[in-house]
Chain A
């Protein structure tokens, strides 16, 4: 069965610092998709990025960047020049392209609570 590990339970940094959230995944499948979601204090889940297992290009979107390394089964997320509005719980998730056994949803990590202090 697949697994997603977010070892950092909570990270606290001061505004304008850069911060990296780690995500390590486990799967025997060769074709899969990785996602990051943000859950702000209001509680909703906001989609941030999707990456497929064949595309190891890093991606940058404004202050956000993602580093996908298949060799280490990692999909890390970096926020540059953090802001108070970035405070949230961030989830990494995995979905197999071909899943057997019935589980067809996302496999989530337990989340990293990011606190940006002013």
Chain B
């Protein structure tokens, strides 16, 4: 039982390049989330999904797109990376009620130069 995994762990992009971050969970969770963590800012929600085929915007969605084609996977895309998107990205998943804690992946450290 791997829990929540993220690919890749590290990535360096040049401004304007695109990339996709992959999150996978094997806990059969309905809900999945993408957060970004910046120094001194805590974690902020980018997008989330309450089930396969559904996505919604969080607190800081601009510049990102997501897709949830399969229940176990949640993809985060950057179409045209900007230096402001340099951050650590965390994926999380949870059961389908707000009462439950979220389980986090190990994070992806992204640098945009």
- Which of A9, A33, A45, A103 has a CB less than 8 Å from the CB of B104? A45
Q: Which of B21-29, B44-52, B63-71, B76-84 forms contacts with chain A? A: B44-52
Say whether, besides A33-B98, A103-B59, A110 and B41 are in contact (CB < 8 Å).
yes
State which residues 34-55 of A face B: CB under 8 Å.
Answer: 35, 37, 43-45, 47, 50, 52
Residue of A nearest to B34 (CB): A105
Measured CB to CB, the residues of B under 8 A from A are 31, 33, 35, 40-45, 48, 50, 56-59, 88, 90, 92, 98-107
Residues of B within 8 A of A47 (CB): 101-103
Measured CB to CB, the residues of A under 8 A from B are 4, 9, 33, 35, 37, 43-45, 47, 50, 52, 91, 95-97, 99, 102-106, 108-111
A43 touches B107 (CB 8 A): yes
A106 touches B99 (CB 8 A): no
Show 28 residue pairs from A and B whose CB-CB distance is below 8 angstroms, ordered by the A residue. Answer: A33-B98, A33-B99, A43-B88, A43-B106, A44-B104, A44-B105, A44-B106, A47-B101, A50-B101, A91-B43, A95-B98, A97-B99, A102-B56, A103-B45, A103-B59, A104-B48, A104-B56, A104-B58, A104-B98, A105-B35, A105-B45, A105-B48, A105-B59, A106-B45, A106-B102, A108-B42, A108-B43, A110-B42
B56 touches A108 (CB 8 A): no
A108 touches B98 (CB 8 A): no
A110 touches B40 (CB 8 A): yes
A108 touches B57 (CB 8 A): no
- Which of A9, A91, A97, A109 has a CB less than 8 Å from the CB of B98? A97
Say whether, besides A45-B90, A96-B98, A99-B98, A105 and B58 are in contact (CB < 8 Å).
yes
Say whether, besides A108-B43, A108-B44, A110-B41, A102 and B57 are in contact (CB < 8 Å).
yes
Chain A contact surface mostly: loop
Residues of A within 8 A of B59 (CB): 103, 105
- Which of B56, B99, B105 has a CB less than 8 Å from the CB of A50? B99
Minimum CB–CB distance from B29 to chain A (whole Å) comes to: 13
Minimum CB–CB distance from B47 to chain A (whole Å) comes to: 9
Residues of A within 8 A of B41 (CB): 110
